């Protein structure tokens, strides 16, 4: 063995010179190879004082963000000359301030497009309403944001935005043309269209459509759980950039700002269309103010107050600067998607007051394009510096500090592209360009081609989404993501990417960026002298951004003089347009009338669960009163009630049937029963009648409800709708309760305010809930049981609030509950509370009885309670052919559709009075509808009857039986429904071929069911009638007006069509 080892050693020694030579040769070759293969370059580097970019193989590179802000940051924000003063006055200043804005809006703009600034004095100006800058060139300026300056104090309990800079959303797009390029990389300033007649100066919209291929490539069709509901859907992820053409060479277009996403036809077609937007405004500003909101001092999470301080929409080249913002629930500044080239700077946000959760405390929130947010300080926010869904860039947050935030800053919604965070610090929270998956209503990948530059946070998340990139340079914190990372745990040069890019693009720095200086020497080997200096400096606190902002503003104040300025109080008062007089709704001769006209039309329900804020949903959304999306207005969001009531009127709707939402927020749309992880609730919100208490934690992650306090916004909205409706002949069906919460799917009860776990009022329900089969809820019996005095008092208090809210409105009809199939006892209690309220207040209100037939008939047989009923609704029962009846009994602990399922099995327990003998003899659908109404009108001629079925609302058959709110054609003569008020239905046995409404003194209406002639008995009726035939389908007269003499039976020829109505009037 030793000989073998010795031999091996000799062989090894002999081999060593050869091995060494080989190693040396390989080392030399490796060195030569390394010299040939250049070291990979970072995405951005500084060479000779200039930025050098490294594109990828397709030409994509870090975008140039320097185009953001007012006038593309090429000019400093101007100090606009003051032209009007609003002196300080105690009390509400809304009208005075808006009058000043309106007056300056009428002045002629100067050469730079400015009409002038409105100067406010020092002091607190109370503002109960909202202020809107609506015309180009108007600036609202205070006397400073610190103590001794100007405070605009938003008062009251409404959520209205305090100040809006907003024009009109009247944009129009020409026909779109496709681009011809095979690929357009990130940061491109040019693209080629296949055709078109574009010219320099044209405004254009570049629209990159989404595709199944792109969604599949990103992996965003499904986020887990085997459920694709929250996955990305076609039409919801369309990217848009608004640009101006600076050059046109044939079909090659040059843009005024770079694109921030690659245009690759394999992932979606890109189109270009011309844009005109006459109502968009520019050159407006809000500055030098302290904006504050009143709050409930007893509720640390109060939300019955102002949400947004400043909102910007339908505007460009505007600014918001030099503000202190305090005690708002939503945003200090919210730039919506229609706002571009906005600068938001030098703002300090303090003391927000709201729940801790979604859509609250989005302190500086950007959904627009080419916007610059700089030198911003925020405390105790939620998402302090954030961009929204599909926010296309460039957009930049520069030199910002968040302290004590409850959640991350970064991108919130899907695929924000071209977003820069530059010298941004989030103390104690995260900066994220994350793939949020299902969070944020299926946000998925939230950022693309976006940059963290010189940022610090507890966590910095920078992933690379497929088809794009994200970059992080000089970041500090914990790290997550497979994006591009350069010089982590270190500082990079230049200090600010934004200002370096701006300097290089312009060849100059157009204004002082006021970058907070970095003091001291960072060397790890300082000299003795430097160490002594730094030790002395360490005894002082570091200057923070809020102090830096204060110092800079103090050193660079805006002019605030009011000498020799015209006074707003000396202006001639503007005439306020007179509001239309309310059309009183009343019960007249058994008809519901508005003024002197019978109310007819469609009835429409509101959505009470589901929805989102994306394009596909919004395109088909229905009007709603108490749906809420903070900061956003429109159908599917927060409806504009004036526009909404106009729309309903145009669509022939006569009544909107409203109940509170099944649950507040959209996470529960999954019908799960789990307690939510946090309060990151999803919009749109279907508001509840009750206020949150600020205490404890409900199942949705927000605080528990207080069933004795009211959600003021909810009630103000209902009241405002009723007021508009009363001017326009619209009814509000006000459902006091919504039975859906207490039956069927367990999720219906999970977030319900009445559930013991969700309120601070100790409602008498078992916790934890005993869900049937760990899935279904049967809480109806307990909910309707009022034997507990404290629980009974809660209901009484709530019912009285439902009445108090509308004590001066004649057009509100009160219902006990949507889908009510509960017991007689609860309806009796409800009516008794109404009776007591009417006696105490002296007010009368319209009360509808919309319950199961047995409960309905029992109430109507009770003379005391029957006297309270104005309207009988047939919604929960119906006549069937051959004298049969579908009328499930009340109080059986089943929902309407559960009763329907039993009916299909022949198991329904029927209740209520049987149909009359005449009703029992008919089989035709229209005859059944007629007799459903007629049986009740015969017994209760002075009450209104409303016919309803699950198939459709009835028109002529129910109307001819005396029903109100029938869906009749809109083409009826103007006087028809006024003349009909005096008429009553005639026994159909006397007119077998037609139905008749009659009053011998005033006239007749006959609806022909069959036959070519109509025989009408006018014996004993003297005088001459004006007669006309109407088409029952359209209401339009067919043929000429003719005369019919009374005194005998008349036989009239029915027009050729079979849809005929004869109208005789004096």
850-881 pLDDT, tens digit each: 999 999 999 999 999 999 999 999 999 999 99
Determine phi and psi for 465, rounding to 5 degrees. Answer: -75, 150
Say if residues 929 and 962 touch (Cβ distance below 8 Å). no
pLDDT recorded at residue 19: 33
Out of 506, 540, 561, pick the residue that ends a domain. Answer: 506
Which contacts of 646-650 are long-range, i.e. CB under 8 A and separated by 24 or more positions?
646/728, 647/623, 648/604, 648/623, 648/730, 649/728, 649/729, 649/730
pLDDT recorded at residue 121: 99
What is the C-alpha to C-alpha distance for residues 243 and 669, in angstroms, rounded to an integer? 38
Whether residue 31 is predicted with pLDDT greater than 70 in this model: the reply is no
The answer to whether residue 581 sits within a structural domain is no
Beta bridge partner(s), residue 339: 315
CB atoms within 10 A of CB 1053: 9
pLDDT recorded at residue 904: 84
708 closest CA partner among 298, 306, 352, 357: 298
The answer to whether residue 623 sits within a structural domain is yes
Residues 257 and 300 in one domain: no
Distances in whole angstroms, Cα of residue 284 to Cα of each of 51, 96, 122, 137, 558 = 34, 19, 22, 5, 16
CATH code, 110: 2.160.20.10
Stated as kind and residue range, the H or E segment containing 1042 is strand 1037-1045
What is the C-alpha to C-alpha distance for residues 903 and 313, in angstroms, rounded to an integer? 53
pLDDT recorded at residue 523: 81
Whether residue 576 is predicted with pLDDT greater than 90 in this model: the reply is no
Q: Which two tokens stand for residue 802?
A: 């439902």
Residues 293 and 252 in one domain: no
Residues 103 and 193 in one domain: no
Say if residues 415 and 237 touch (Cβ distance below 8 Å). yes
Residues 210 and 353 in one domain: no
CATH code, 1015: 2.60.40
Q: Output DSSP code: residue 13.
A: H
Beta bridge partner(s), residue 370: none
Distances in whole angstroms, Cα of residue 768 to Cα of each of 674, 698, 758, 1053 = 12, 13, 12, 71
The answer to whether residue 670 sits within a structural domain is yes
Lowest average pLDDT, out of 199-213, 530-544, 855-869, goes to 530-544
Cis peptide bond N-terminal to 768, omega within 30:
yes
Residues 272 and 329 in one domain: no
Residues 289 and 359 in one domain: yes
Whether residue 3 is predicted with pLDDT greater than 80 in this model: the reply is no
What is the C-alpha to C-alpha distance for residues 859 and 816, in angstroms, rounded to an integer? 13
pLDDT digit string (tens) for 672-714? 999 999 999 999 999 999 999 999 999 999 999 999 999 999 9
DSSP string, 322-356: EEEEES-SS-SEEE-TTEEEEEEEEEEEE---S-S
Residues 886 and 936 in one domain: yes
Average pLDDT, the chain: 95
Which contacts of 48-54 are long-range, i.e. CB under 8 A and separated by 24 or more positions?
50/504, 51/494, 51/500, 51/501, 51/504
pLDDT digit string (tens) for 907-930? 878 899 999 999 999 999 999 999
Beta bridge partner(s), residue 126: 92, 153
Q: Would you call 499 exposed, middle or buried from its count of C-beta atoms within 10 A (0-12, 13-18, 19+)? A: buried
163 closest CA partner among 716, 546, 631, 569: 631
Three-class DSSP labels, 284-313: CEEEEEEEEECCCCCCCCCCCCCCCCEEEE
* Confidence tier at 1065 by pLDDT (50, 70, 90): very high
Residues 486 and 434 in one domain: yes
The answer to whether residue 450 sits within a structural domain is yes
Distances in whole angstroms, Cα of residue 705 to Cα of each of 702, 710, 715, 755 = 9, 9, 16, 10
Residue 254 vs residue 16, higher pLDDT: 254
Question: Furthest-apart CA pair in the chain: how many Å?
Answer: 147
Q: Output DSSP code: residue 57.
A: T
Rounded mean pLDDT of 991-1007?
95
The answer to whether residue 536 sits within a structural domain is no
Rounded mean pLDDT of 2-14?
37
Say if residues 244 and 204 touch (Cβ distance below 8 Å). yes
Residues 781 and 824 in one domain: no
Rounded mean pLDDT of 706-735?
98
pLDDT recorded at residue 924: 92
Number of domains the chain is built from? 5
The answer to whether residue 45 sits within a structural domain is no
Q: First-to-last CA distance in the chain?
A: 136
Residues 271 and 290 in one domain: no
pLDDT recorded at residue 34: 45
pLDDT recorded at residue 635: 97
Question: Is 450 in a helix, a strand, or coil?
Answer: strand
Distances in whole angstroms, Cα of residue 17 to Cα of each of 12, 20, 21, 22, 24 = 9, 5, 6, 9, 11
Say if residues 336 and 311 touch (Cβ distance below 8 Å). yes
Beta bridge partner(s), residue 924: none
Question: Is 553 in a helix, a strand, or coil?
Answer: helix
CB-based burial, 1002-1026: b 16+ in 10 Å, e otherwise: ebbbbbbbeeeebebebeebeeebe
pLDDT recorded at residue 943: 99
What is the C-alpha to C-alpha distance for residues 606 and 687, in angstroms, rounded to an integer? 12
The answer to whether residue 124 sits within a structural domain is yes
Structural domain including 982 reads 975-1065
The answer to whether residue 523 sits within a structural domain is no
pTM for the model: 0.94
Out of 244, 276, 308, pick the residue that ends a domain. Answer: 276
pLDDT recorded at residue 36: 53
Residues 916 and 941 in one domain: yes
Three-class DSSP labels, 194-240: CCCCCCCCCEEEEEECCCHHHHHHHCCCCCCCCCCCCCCCCCCCCEE
Rounded mean pLDDT of 214-222?
98
CB atoms within 10 A of CB 48: 5
pLDDT digit string (tens) for 740-788? 999 999 999 999 999 999 999 999 999 999 999 999 999 999 999 999 9
pLDDT digit string (tens) for 58-104? 999 999 999 999 999 999 999 999 999 999 999 999 999 999 999 99
Residue 836 vs residue 576, higher pLDDT: 836
Out of 751, 776, 809, pick the residue that ends a domain. Answer: 809
Rounded mean pLDDT of 325-353?
99
Q: Which two tokens stand for residue 63?
A: 């975008």
* Confidence tier at 954 by pLDDT (50, 70, 90): low
Instruction: Name every residue whose Cβ is closer than 8 Å to that of residue 672 and which is 6 or more positions away in sequence.
Output: 747, 750
Determine phi and psi for 881, rounding to 5 degrees. Answer: -60, 150
Say if residues 568 and 100 touch (Cβ distance below 8 Å). yes
CB atoms within 10 A of CB 1055: 17
What is the C-alpha to C-alpha distance for residues 281 and 278, in angstroms, rounded to an integer? 8
Distances in whole angstroms, Cα of residue 361 to Cα of each of 380, 566, 765, 899 = 8, 38, 34, 45
Sort strands 315-326 and 163-166 into parallel, antiparallel or unpaired.
unpaired
Determine phi and psi for 228, rounding to 5 degrees. Answer: -100, 10
pLDDT recorded at residue 37: 60
What is the C-alpha to C-alpha distance for residues 273 and 257, in angstroms, rounded to an integer? 17
Residues 360 and 453 in one domain: yes
What is the C-alpha to C-alpha distance for residues 513 and 496, in angstroms, rounded to an integer? 9
H helical segments located in 445-582: 497-506, 528-537, 545-555
Whether residue 574 is predicted with pLDDT greater than 90 in this model: the reply is no
Stated as kind and residue range, the H or E segment containing 1029 is strand 1024-1031
Say if residues 420 and 397 touch (Cβ distance below 8 Å). yes
Q: Which two tokens stand for residue 168?
A: 């009109």
């Amino acid at each position: 063995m030793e000989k073998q080892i010795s031999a091996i050693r000799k062989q090894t020694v002999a081999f060593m010179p050869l091995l060494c030579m080989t190693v040396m040769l390989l080392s030399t070759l490796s060195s030569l190879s390394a010299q040939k293969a250049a070291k990979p370059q970072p995405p951005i580097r500084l060479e000779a004082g200039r930025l050098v970019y490294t594109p990828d193989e397709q030409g994509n590179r870090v975008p140039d963000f320097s185009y953001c802000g007012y006038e593309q940051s090429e000019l400093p924000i101007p100090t606009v000359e003051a032209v009007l003063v609003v002196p300080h006055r105690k009390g509400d200043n809304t009208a005075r301030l808006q009058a000043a804005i309106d007056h300056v809006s009428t002045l002629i703009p100067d050469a730079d497009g400015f009409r002038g600034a409105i100067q406010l004095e020092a002091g607190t100006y109370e503002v109960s309403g909202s202020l809107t800058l609506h015309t180009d060139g108007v600036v609202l300026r205070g006397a400073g944001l610190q103590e001794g300056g100007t405070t605009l104090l938003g008062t009251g309990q409404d959520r209205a935005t305090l100040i809006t800079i907003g024009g009109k959303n009247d944009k129009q797009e020409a026909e779109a043309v496709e681009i011809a390029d095979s690929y357009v990389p990130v940061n491109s300033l040019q693209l080629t269209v296949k055709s078109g007649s574009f010219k320099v100066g044209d405004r254009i919209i570049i629209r990159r459509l989404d595709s199944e291929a792109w969604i599949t490539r990103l992996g965003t069709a499904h986020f887990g759980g085997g459920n694709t509901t929250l996955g990305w859907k076609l039409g919801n992820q369309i990217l848009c950039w608004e640009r101006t053409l600076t050059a046109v060479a044939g079909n090659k277009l040059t843009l005024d700002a770079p694109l921030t996403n690659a245009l690759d036809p394999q992932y979606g077609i890109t189109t270009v269309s011309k844009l005109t937007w006459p109502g968009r405004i520019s050159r407006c500003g809000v500055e030098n103010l302290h904006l504050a909101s009143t709050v409930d001092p007893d509720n640390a999470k109060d939300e019955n107050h102002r949400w947004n301080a400043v909102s910007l929409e339908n505007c460009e080249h505007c600014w918001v600067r030099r503000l202190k913002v305090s005690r708002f629930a939503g945003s200090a500044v919210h730039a919506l998607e229609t706002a571009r080239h906005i600068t938001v700077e030098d703002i300090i946000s303090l003391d927000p007051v709201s729940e801790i959760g979604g859509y609250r405390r989005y302190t500086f929130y950007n959904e627009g394009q080419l916007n610059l947010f700089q030198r911003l300080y925020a405390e105790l926010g939620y998402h302090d510096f954030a961009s929204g869904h599909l926010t296309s860039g460039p957009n930049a947050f520069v030199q910002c500090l968040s302290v004590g935030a409850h959640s991350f800053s970064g991108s919130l919604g899907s695929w924000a592209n071209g977003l820069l965070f530059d010298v941004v610090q989030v103390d104690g929270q995260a900066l994220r360009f994350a793939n949020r998956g299902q969070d944020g209503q299926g946000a998925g990948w939230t950022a693309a081609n976006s940059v963290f530059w010189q940022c610090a946070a507890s966590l910095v998340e920078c992933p690379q989404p497929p088809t794009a990139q994200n970059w992080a340079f000089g970041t500090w914190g914990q790290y997550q993501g497979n994006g591009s990372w350069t010089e982590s745990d270190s500082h990079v040069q230049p200090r600010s990417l934004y200002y370096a890019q701006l300097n290089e693009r312009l060849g100059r720095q157009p204004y002082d960026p006021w970058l907070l200086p970095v003091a001291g020497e960072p060397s790890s080997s300082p000299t003795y002298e430097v160490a002594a200096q730094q030790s002395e400096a360490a005894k002082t606190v570091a200057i923070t951004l809020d102090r830096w902002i204060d110092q800079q503003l103090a050193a660079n104040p805006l002019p605030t003089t009011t000498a020799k300025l015209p006074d707003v109080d000396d202006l001639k008062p503007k005439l306020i347009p007179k509001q239309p007089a309310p059309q009183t709704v009343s019960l007249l001769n058994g008809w519901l009338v508005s003024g002197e006209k019978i109310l007819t039309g469609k009835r429409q329900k509101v959505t009470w669960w589901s929805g989102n804020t994306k394009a596909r949903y919004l395109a088909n959304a229905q009007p709603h009163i108490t749906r809420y999306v903070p900061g956003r207005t429109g159908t599917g969001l927060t409806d504009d009630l004036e526009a909404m009531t106009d729309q309903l009127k145009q669509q022939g709707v006569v009544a909107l049937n409203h109940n509170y939402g099944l649950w507040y927020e959209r996470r529960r749309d999954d019908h799960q029963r789990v307690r939510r992880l946090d309060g990151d609730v999803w919009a749109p919100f279907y508001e509840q009648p009750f206020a949150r208490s600020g205490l404890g934690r409900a199942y949705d992650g927000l605080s528990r409800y207080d069933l004795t306090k009211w959600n003021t916004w909810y009630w103000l909205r209902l009241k405002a709708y009723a007021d508009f409706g009363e001017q326009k002949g619209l009814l509000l069906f006000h459902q006091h309760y919504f039975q859906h919460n207490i039956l069927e799917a367990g999720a219906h009860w999970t977030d319900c305010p009445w559930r013991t776990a969700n309120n601070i009022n100790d409602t008498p329900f078992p916790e934890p809930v005993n869900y049937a089969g760990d899935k279904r809820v049967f809480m109806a019996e307990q909910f309707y049981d009022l034997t507990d005095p404290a629980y009974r008092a809660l209901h009484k208090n709530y019912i009285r609030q439902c009445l108090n809210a509308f004590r001066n409105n004649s057009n509100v009809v009160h219902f006990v509950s949507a889908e009510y199939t509960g017991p007689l006892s609860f309806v009796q209690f409800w009516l008794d509370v109404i009776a007591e309220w009417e006696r105490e207040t002296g007010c009368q209100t319209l009360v509808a009885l919309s319950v199961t037939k047995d409960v309905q008939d029992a109430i109507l047989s009770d003379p005391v309670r029957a006297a309270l009923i104005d309207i009988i609704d047939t919604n929960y029962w119906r006549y069937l052919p051959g004298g049969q009846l579908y009328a499930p009994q009340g109080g059986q602990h089943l929902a309407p559709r559960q009763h329907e399922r039993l009916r299909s099995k022949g198991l329904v327990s029927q209740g209520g009075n049987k149909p009359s003998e005449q009703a029992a003899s008919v089989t035709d659908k229209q005859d059944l509808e007629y007799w459903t109404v007629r049986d009740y009108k015969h017994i209760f001629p002075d009450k209104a009857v409303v016919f309803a079925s699950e198939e459709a609302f009835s028109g002529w058959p129910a109307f001819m039986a005396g029903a109100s709110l029938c869906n009749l054609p809109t083409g009826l003569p103007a006087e028809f429904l006024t003349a009909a008020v005096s008429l009553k239905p005639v026994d159909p046995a006397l007119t077998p071929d037609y139905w008749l409404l009659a009053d011998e003194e005033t006239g007749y209406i006959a609806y022909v069911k069959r036959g070519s002639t109509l025989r009408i008995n006018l014996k004993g009726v003297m005088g001459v009638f004006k007669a006309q035939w109407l088409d029952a389908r359209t209401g339009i007269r067919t043929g000429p007006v003719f005369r019919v003499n009374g005194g005998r039976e008349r036989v009239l020829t029915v027009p050729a069509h079979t849809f005929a109505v004869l109208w005789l009037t004096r």
